[in-house]
Structure 1
Amino acid sequence: MEIELTKENYDGEVIKSNMPVLVDFWASWCGPCKMVAPIISQIAEEYNGKVKVCKVNVDDQGELAAQNAIVSIPTVILFIDGKPVKKIVGAHSLDDYEDAIDEFI
């Protein structure tokens, strides 16, 4: 399951999370974001119970995008203990995302 983040739930879901959090920054008009979406969904299933998977629509949540210095989408950030430990910019393969997660968990 993927959690849609807003400025209201961001701290509780990401910063105060007791498990690693993968956050996908995306927009509906972004072609590469659409290519990455099924991969992120697959990661949510594959790592269920080990990694929390969240999404941020940068058009709706510009403040969160700015707070995380998002300048290009898709951008996927892995947070551990509320701190970003890995940032992947652009569309990548499932293996790339899995490798990034496995490096830290």
Structure 2
Amino acid sequence: MNLWLKRARAWLVLAGLFARELVLSVNDVLKAVLRPSRVQRSGIVAVPLSLRDDASIALLANLVTLTPGTTSLHVSDDKGVLYVHAMNLGDDTVAQIQSGFERRVKECLE
């Protein structure tokens, strides 16, 4: 497959992933607003990054921030860690970001 088609497919997959995560997150935030006791644990996590260029990291940080219930807070000076606040923190929050958005961003831009 030529590079252009491969990249176009990667962007479509990323857009689909974002749309799916957006719907799931809106649902989760809505439930939390209606039942505040549902929020079990919020907090800040350090997400180790395999992305290295500024555009890739910026896209990842923006995707995380645009997803309700999560906010990108800071990228370390060495660009090795993205700090994220999550409203509903789970044991797999870091892994979900890495295997979801980060992996798809890498496919699109690197």
Question: TM exceeds 0.5?
Answer: no
> Higher helix fraction: Structure 1 or Structure 2?
2
Structure 1 length-normalised TM: 0.30
Structure 2 length-normalised TM: 0.29
Structure number with bigger Rg: 2
> Higher strand fraction: Structure 1 or Structure 2?
1
